[in-house]
């Protein structure tokens, strides 16, 4: 199994930090002499990104701003070896909004600009986490905290929403404890589990195109924690929450063994309809490292890549840094280190070769495509222009084109504004009566980039079309409100040309917070689902027309959902997942709505055999009286439509030689 660890405040480099297990502390205490780094075998040539691209995967690294800006050796490796970038700290809450409503994006923008210039994509990290979140957030009331979360996500995701380089986000990070229960963070203690779904909805409203992920550690193999993650993702998907991917951090240590059934674990998540990715890979060694530890480290790196390659839905692997010079490991685990694929002098190690070989070795193709022809513009309007160009050629094959844009007729900096797999591209969202310059570059599967084409200048028209917004919708009212949904209706707007639809906006609580779009409708009604029980929300509606004009928002209506509970019956069936001499795991313990109406909570009761003791549980709230165990639904898995199911589980100890397990599960609803 991998080590059990929990985050603690960051050190001087503001990298991710973990506390050290007691067993590891005992090992560290045994060292009485200085720890020396051990030289490792030289590595084969890359680049890694070409090998990964040949397998339709990305290979990424976590970027630190200072060396990226100031060290040529670091920058050279970072921009040539990797196709994906995760900001190590620049996009976290304390890096973007350390003071309430004072947003700073310079460090994040620098990483995005570097990625854009080097044909890389960016994964945003992280929006909602219990660590590196300023103290001003942690002490807020429930209403104010939810509003702060929405404001933060709307601003941070919105800042990069129109930048094609930023393609995905870790929306929530590390929400489980080691037993598979919800981590008792200030988020959970104040808001309950509903903060997870709300964070995803806020992120989707801020960027409809980004891939939205949940991320955690010690979930690489099949265990209680990964099963809790699996059940949460399944539940979120069933509720229509916009979750697209699952991140497996994969901080490994050779002394704890490789995660059990990693490939099978990735696949079971993929079967839920999400993509999966390795997000923070490193493999630490107890120092001084010997040849056996280095060989094990190389095997681990190779195994992780091979597990990803074996699962079609695994999009790639990100290493948490790449050089031991800037690794978080030695500061957090004294006596351990050498966890990355480059040493402190920026020389590739044998772990580099292990990653390269697992991807199939370096492709032979190092030839860039030819330069595309100068683009020409057509169909220029006040807000868009269509570009076309003559195709590039390549010794293997062109896979697409990047479109770069600079402001004005001279000066400024070209930045990627889109990509195309054809020889045309329409750039929308431009300003009227404004000049822009465009270039195009080609790319191939090995990551080779052509030179940029000559530039074409485009000036948009003055925009003399429809500029009249629709009238403000009126009469907004709510009906049919339950513990998890409400239906809104309103009086239609009018427009000089015609209304094309309505946006529905929602804010948390009865006051404060920020309204964000949660849906749209082409009629004058909308049902908002996935709400939390006994919670207040405010809604507004605004109309829009074909020209993109938007009305002012309607007056707000406040809706308070009902408490949990509901009609219907339920059943419970337990499955023995595993047993050993003095214990067992029951997973899944499946709850099914056997009634004809939706239930909004359930209670399962069972009896532990004499001498058996509950030692762990997940996805339900457990109470024990003698040998009688009562498990109640939690916020996200209590609502079940007729015929629908959810699951939870537990672990128990028993006397040695006793082979009995619980039975006779009963399920009731309020």
- Of residues 595 and 301, more confidence is placed in 301
pLDDT at 529: 74
* 199 and 213 Cβ atoms separated by less than 8 Å: no
Tally of domains within the chain: 4
In a domain, 42, yes or no: no
Mean pLDDT over 542-564 rounds to 84
Average model confidence (pLDDT) across the chain = 86
- pLDDT surpasses 50 at 545: yes
- pLDDT surpasses 70 at 371: yes
Lowest pLDDT segment from 36-40, 529-533, 553-557, 621-625: 36-40
437 and 520 fall within a common domain: no
514 and 584 fall within a common domain: no
pLDDT at 642: 81
pTM score > 0.85 for this model? no
- Say how far apart CA 43 and CA 301 lie, in whole Å: 14
pLDDT tens column, 606-628:
888 888 988 777 778 888 888 88
Structure tokens at 645: 């199911």
Confidence of residue 463 (pLDDT cuts 50, 70, 90): low
pLDDT tens column, 132-142:
999 999 999 99
538 and 627 fall within a common domain: no
Structure tokens at 300: 């681990």
Of 560, 582, 615, the position where a domain reaches its end is: 560
pLDDT at 114: 93
Q: What Cα–Cα distance (Å) separates residue 665 from each residue in 7, 11, 362, 459, 607?
A: 37, 49, 56, 71, 8
Mean pLDDT over 265-292 rounds to 95
pLDDT tens column, 335-366:
999 999 999 999 999 999 999 999 988 766 77
**Residue 210 dihedral angles phi and psi, to the nearest 5°:** -70, 150
Q: Which domain holds residue 491?
A: 474-560
pLDDT at 442: 92
555 and 575 fall within a common domain: no
In a domain, 428, yes or no: yes
Confidence of residue 18 (pLDDT cuts 50, 70, 90): very low
What percentage of residues in the chain have a pLDDT greater than 90? Answer: 54
pLDDT at 22: 26
In a domain, 539, yes or no: yes
For residue 403, the domain's CATH number is 2.60.40.10
321 and 455 fall within a common domain: no
For residue 647, the domain's CATH number is 2.60.40.290
489 and 414 fall within a common domain: no
pLDDT at 637: 81
* 77 and 102 Cβ atoms separated by less than 8 Å: no
In a domain, 58, yes or no: yes
pLDDT tens column, 22-69:
222 222 222 222 334 445 544 445 589 989 988 989 999 999 999 999
**From 97, 220, 280, 286, the catalytic residue:** 280
pLDDT at 617: 77
- Say how far apart CA 637 and CA 620 lie, in whole Å: 8
343 and 203 fall within a common domain: yes
Confidence of residue 568 (pLDDT cuts 50, 70, 90): low
pLDDT tens column, 217-266:
999 999 999 999 999 999 999 889 999 999 999 999 999 999 989 999 99
- Say how far apart CA 180 and CA 139 lie, in whole Å: 26
What percentage of residues in the chain have a pLDDT greater than 70? Answer: 91
In a domain, 179, yes or no: yes
Mean pLDDT over 407-413 rounds to 90
Of 358, 391, 412, the position where a domain reaches its end is: 358
508 and 637 fall within a common domain: no
pLDDT at 389: 95
293 is catalytic: no
pLDDT tens column, 376-404:
999 888 888 999 999 999 887 788 899 99
In a domain, 118, yes or no: yes
175 and 322 fall within a common domain: yes
pLDDT at 567: 47
Which strands, in side-by-side order, build the sheet including 486-491? Answer: 474-479, 486-491, 525-528
556 and 661 fall within a common domain: no
Q: Where are the alpha helices (DSSP H) in 346-409?
A: 350-358
* 85 and 64 Cβ atoms separated by less than 8 Å: no
For residue 128, the domain's CATH number is 3.20.20.80
pLDDT tens column, 572-601:
888 887 777 778 888 888 888 887 778 888
In a domain, 24, yes or no: no
137 and 99 fall within a common domain: yes
Of 432, 459, 486, the position where a domain reaches its end is: 459
Q: What is the DSSP string of 339-353?
A: -SSB-TTS-B-HHHH
- Say how far apart CA 578 and CA 224 lie, in whole Å: 11
pLDDT at 46: 57
423 and 504 fall within a common domain: no
Structure tokens at 520: 């749209």
Structure tokens at 319: 């290493």
In a domain, 14, yes or no: no
């Amino acid at each position: 199994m991998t080590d059990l660890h929990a985050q603690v405040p960051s050190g001087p480099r503001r990298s991710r930090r973990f506390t050290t297990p007691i067993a590891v502390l005992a090992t560290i205490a045994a060292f009485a002499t200085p720890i020396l780094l051990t030289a490792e075998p030289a590595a084969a040539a890359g680049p890694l990104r070409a090998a990964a691209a040949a397998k339709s995967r990305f290979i990424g690294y976590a970027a630190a701003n200072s060396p990226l800006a100031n060290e040529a050796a670091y920058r050279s490796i970072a921009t040539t070896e990797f196709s994906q970038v995760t900001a190590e700290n620049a996009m976290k809450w304390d890096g973007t909004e350390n003071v309430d409503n004072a947003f700073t994006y310079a460090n994040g923008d620098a990483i995005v600009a570097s990625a854009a210039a080097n044909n890389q994509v960016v994964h945003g990290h992280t929006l909602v986490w219990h660590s590196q979140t300023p103290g001003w957030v942690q002490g807020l009331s429930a209403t104010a905290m939810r509003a702060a979360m929405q404001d933060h996500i709307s601003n941070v995701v919105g800042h990069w929403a129109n930048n094609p380089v930023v393609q995905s986000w870790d929306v929530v990070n590390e929400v489980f404890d080691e037993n598979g229960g919800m981590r008792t963070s200030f988020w959970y203690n104040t808001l309950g589990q509903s903060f997870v779904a709300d964070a995803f909805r806020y992120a989707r409203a801020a960027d409809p195109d980004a891939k939205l992920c949940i991320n955690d550690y010690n979930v690489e193999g099949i265990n209680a924690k990964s099963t809790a993650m699996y059940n949460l993702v399944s539940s979120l998907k069933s509720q229509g929450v916009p979750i697209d991917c699952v991140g497996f951090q994969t901080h490994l240590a050779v002394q704890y063994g490789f995660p059990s059934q990693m490939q099978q674990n990735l696949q079971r998540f993929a079967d839920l309809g999400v993509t999966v990715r390795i997000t923070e890979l490193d493999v630490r060694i107890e120092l001084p490292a010997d040849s056996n530890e280095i060989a094990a480290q190389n095997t681990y790196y190779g195994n992780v890549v091979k597990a990803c390659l074996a699962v079609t839905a695994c999009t790639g692997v990100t290493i948490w840094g790449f050089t031991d010079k800037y690794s978080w490991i030695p500061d957090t685990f004294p006596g351990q280190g050498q966890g990355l694929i480059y040493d402190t002098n920026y020389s590739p190690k044998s772990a580099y070769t292990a990653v390269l070989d697992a991807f199939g070795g370096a492709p032979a193709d190092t030839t860039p495509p030819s330069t595309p022809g100068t683009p020409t513009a057509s169909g220029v309007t006040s807000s868009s222009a269509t570009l076309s160009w003559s195709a590039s050629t390549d010794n293997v094959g062109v896979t697409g084109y990047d479109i770069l844009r600079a402001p004005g007729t001279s000066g400024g900096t070209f930045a990627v504004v889109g990509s195309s797999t054809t020889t045309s591209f329409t750039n929308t969202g431009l300003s009227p009566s404004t000049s822009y310059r465009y270039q195009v570059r080609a790319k191939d599967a090995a990551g080779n980039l052509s030179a940029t084409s000559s530039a074409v200048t485009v000036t948009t028209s003055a925009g003399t079309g429809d500029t009249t917004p629709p009238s403000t919708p009126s009469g907004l009212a709510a009906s049919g409100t339950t513990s998890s949904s409400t239906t809104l209706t309103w009086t239609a707007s009018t427009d000089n040309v015609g209304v094309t639809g309505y946006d529905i906006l929602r804010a948390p609580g009865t006051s404060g917070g920020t309204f964000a779009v949660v849906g749209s409708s082409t009629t004058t009604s909308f049902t908002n689902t996935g709400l939390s029980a006994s919670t207040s929300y405010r809604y507004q509606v605004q109309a829009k027309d074909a020209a993109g004009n938007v009305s002012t928002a309607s007056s707000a209506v406040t809706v308070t959902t009902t408490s949990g509970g509901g009609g219907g019956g339920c059943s419970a069936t337990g499955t023995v997942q595993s047993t050993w001499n003095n214990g067992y795991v029951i997973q899944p313990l499946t709850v099914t709505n056997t009634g004809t109406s939706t239930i909004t909570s359930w209670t399962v009761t069972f009896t532990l055999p004499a001498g058996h003791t509950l030692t762990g549980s997940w996805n339900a709230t457990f109470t024990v009286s003698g040998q009688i165990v009562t498990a109640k639904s939690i916020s996200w898995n209590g609502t079940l439509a007729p015929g629908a199911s959810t699951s939870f589980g537990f672990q128990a100890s028993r006397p040695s030689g006793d082979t009995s397990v619980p039975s006779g599960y009963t399920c009731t609803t309020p």
